[in-house]
A and B are shown apart, each in its own frame.
Chain A
Amino acid sequence: MATAVAAPTRGSGQSAASKKTWWSVANLVVLLYALIPVLWILSLSFKTADTVTDGNFIPRSWTFENYAQVFQIDLFTSALINSIGIAIISTVLAVVIGTMAAYAIARLDFPGKKLLVGVSLLIAMFPQISLVTPLFNIERAIGLFDTWPGLILPYITFALPLSIYTLSAFFREIPWELEKAAQMDGATPLQAFRSVIVPLAAPGVFTTAILVFIFCWNDFLFAVSLTSTSRSQTATVAISQFTGASQFAEPTGSIAAAAVLLTIPIIIFVLFFQRRIVAGLTSGAVKG
């Protein structure tokens, strides 16, 4: 193995196997880095109330009590539905609107381009804590307070700067000339766009989608200030309102259980989209 590390890609046969070992070790390190703190939360969620503070990494006695408790809270189920709906709608809209703007910024020449880039950065920079109170006042006045659009609009707004920056940085590196080449080879503009540009752009678009979804899913500040009932309260707010089994018990176990439950949709979402990232790249290489 030591020799393979020194000369990674020369030779064949024996070094292919050791290359695999090398990558396995690297992957393992990465997995441990990402997972140890997560396993700690998982472990807290399975601990019984009297062992939750014992400091053991692996629970000494296991229980599903915490998970059962989470679902007994009426608010949590509705909050989960609100979270999923609001996050998906916001992600789709932010990515579509962001893609349009980023395409224009990366490829077209028009007045006000610099202004748009500057303003969107300005919005990304302003401390959100000072924007919450005026937003609350506006939403109360126009009846958006405690509704889905009342959260979706701010989410799109604060996701847009990142979307525009990521996507335009990505779009300008795409070899757009390939599109023309495909058209010269007899493809219609739509065909050229679909089979050449879309696969090349897909990794950037899906990367942005993942980041925007996580931003909306994890937001606490806007959700806690712009909602008040089960109509639109999201899961992060619901967690913050957990109380223990008794009035004096800390709800550590159920908070951990809720956090684990809240992470599952993220894993599904990422699993789904990271496949697209890979698919986008390979199909681009084949057809390009």
Chain B
Amino acid sequence: MSIDSGARPTVPEQGRPAPSHRTGKPALSEGKKAERKLGLLLCAPAAIIMVLVTGYPIVYAVWLSLQRYDLRFPAEQEFAGLANYAAVLTSSYWWSAFFVTVIITVISVAIEFVLGLALALIMHRTIVARGLTRTVVLIPYGIVTVVAAFSWQFAWTPDKGYLAALLPEGAAPLTDQVSALAIIILAEVWKTTPFMALLLMAGLALVPDDLLKAAQVDGAGPWQRLTKIILPMMKPAILVALLFRTLDAFRVFDNIYILTQGSNGTGSVSMLGYDNLFKAFNLGIGSAISVLIFIAVALIAFLFIKIFGAAAPGSDEGKR
């Protein structure tokens, strides 16, 4: 073991240049052609399934968003152009829901990242009860979201829950905007930090121990090792974890639906879309909200990929 492990860090540096950079554009060699064919073949099943299942629904939703279509008045369906979008974007409901969503997303993802990294480091490095810790950490993520949200609601309801009992007499935290948002964020953070931690731990697994030991011998402290070695090497894992958590957080629905039903200024954009689609049966407006959520989320994803640049999947420059 000790003989082999010494050789590991040196190997990557020699062989790193990716094969894709060697060949020029004009003539494709045999190997190159075979590589293309294999690449397409391996991706085909994923591409076919994704397009088959979501192609029509996505196109249909976009089409609906351009229609005046209210299920209560089906006869009045007609093409409306961007009128639904104008109606949504000039509505104060949309903007208050939008800001609530942004607040929930930013605060919960920030807390989750710090907490998730700490959890990942503990899960990865701990020397006692490692299996137990790794398993238990994932339980919050494994619990059915709706039930977890319900249990939080119960816990914070005066006279019913253990957490409400800790508060001063007469406090009803779920009926005030600020404290209700704090509870929603708490429920989100508790539930999804394990997701973050698990993805980050998989990234940590790729940081070679020898490299850390070498840095330690050279006098790098724990903080330096974290910021100069561990975090840069985990960049791809961090991108995936942050990206998917932000996308999810921005569409927060279950927790709010159970905890406050969106009352007292706690409704998210997904709640608004749901209310319009399934309660008011206004398919045109509801679909326009969905498309706007999609655009907002797409902008977030674009920003993330720009910030992380080469660490994004599919970009060639990132192969160190």
Contact = CB atoms under 8 A, between A and B. Distances in A.
B83 interface: no
A81 interface: no
Contacts of B100: none
Interface stretch (B45-53, B74-82, B171-179): B45-53
A38 to B, nearest CB: 6
A101 B46 contact: yes
Contacts, number: 327
Interface in A158-185: 160-162, 164-166, 168-170, 172-178, 180-181
B11 A178 contact: yes
Contact of A169 (B125, B161, B239): B239
Contacts of A19: 127
A270 B216 CA distance: 33
B40 A44 contact: no
Contacts of B253: 129
B142 A270 contact: yes
B157 to A, nearest CB: 9
Interface in A112-133: 112-114, 116-117, 119-131, 133
A256 interface: yes
B122 A207 contact: no
Contact of A117 (B159, B194, B298, B313): B313
A207 B47 CA distance: 22
B58 interface: yes
A35 to B, nearest CB: 6
Interface of A: 8-9, 19-20, 23-24, 26-27, 30-31, 33-35, 37-38, 40-41, 44, 53-57, 97-98, 100-106, 108-114, 116-117, 119-131, 133-135, 138, 153-154, 156-157, 160-162, 164-166, 168-170, 172-178, 180-181, 203-204, 207, 210-211, 214, 217-218, 220, 236, 239-240, 252, 255-256, 258-259, 262-263, 266-267, 270-271, 274-275, 277-278, 281, 285-288
Interface of B: 1, 4-5, 8, 11-12, 14-16, 18-20, 32, 35-40, 42-43, 45-47, 49-54, 56-58, 60-61, 119, 122-123, 125-148, 150-152, 154-155, 159-162, 164-165, 190, 194-195, 198-199, 201-203, 205-206, 209, 216, 222, 233, 236-237, 239-240, 243-244, 247, 251, 253-254, 270, 273-274, 277-278, 286-287, 290-291, 293-294, 297-298, 301, 311-314, 316, 318-319
28 contacts: A27-B132, A30-B123, A30-B137, A37-B140, A40-B155, A41-B151, A101-B43, A105-B43, A105-B314, A109-B18, A109-B32, A110-B36, A110-B38, A111-B40, A112-B40, A113-B43, A116-B47, A130-B287, A134-B56, A154-B53, A169-B236, A172-B236, A173-B233, A211-B195, A220-B145, A266-B139, A274-B135, A288-B8
